[in-house]
Amino acid sequence: MNKEHPNISILKRFNPADPNTLAEVLAEDFVWHYINPKLPELEGDYVGFAGLKDFFNRLGGRTDGSFKVNPISITPMGDNLVTTHVKDKMFLNGNPMEIDAIVVWCIINGQIIEAWDIPIVHTAKIADTNYQE
């Protein structure tokens, strides 16, 4: 029986629709780095739990609350890094969109100290016309 990596267990509790799900495992000086030149108004660093909530509130406002994450894979990299591949769905400027993204998480001593959210802007496409919020 394979035991799940402890850092994966931490991340499985995270629900982007409710950033409060990470409150107990975020380091006080946690930094969320968002890298997306197609959305420069959101790009930047968000510090602490308040910063993370601010980022997701701003993203929710930009997407009319439609932002959803579909996890594809999660891979531990050594003792401190975890890489997640997700497919984000949202309405952007009234159009249903899908975009691949990776998030690299740095977890030390059971606390998330840093994360880099990198949407792969070249994969963005108008979603299937059956897209549901």
Domain containing 88 equals 6-126
pLDDT of 131 strictly over 80: no
The reply to whether 120 falls in a domain is: yes
Summarize pLDDT for 20-62 with one digit per residue, the tens.
Answer: 887 888 999 999 999 988 889 999 999 999 999 999 999 999 9
Q: How many domains does the chain have?
A: 1
DSSP element (H, E) containing 33: strand 26-34
Alpha carbon distance 56, 32 (integer Å)? 11
Find out whether 7 and 82 touch, Cβ atoms under 8 Å: yes
**What is the rounded average pLDDT of the residues 3-11?**
89
Average pLDDT value for residue range 105-110: 95
CATH number of residue 51's parent domain = 3.10.450.50
Comparison of pLDDT for 85 and 122, the residue scoring more: 85
Residue labelled with tokens 């691949």: 100
Tell me whether residue 132 is in a domain: no
The answer to whether residue 72 is domain-embedded is yes
- Domain contains 87: yes
Parallel, antiparallel or unpaired: strands 26-34 and 111-119: parallel
Residue 104 lies in a domain: yes
| Total-model pTM | 0.85
At residue 89, what is the residue type? Answer: K
Instruction: Identify whether 131 is part of a domain.
Output: no
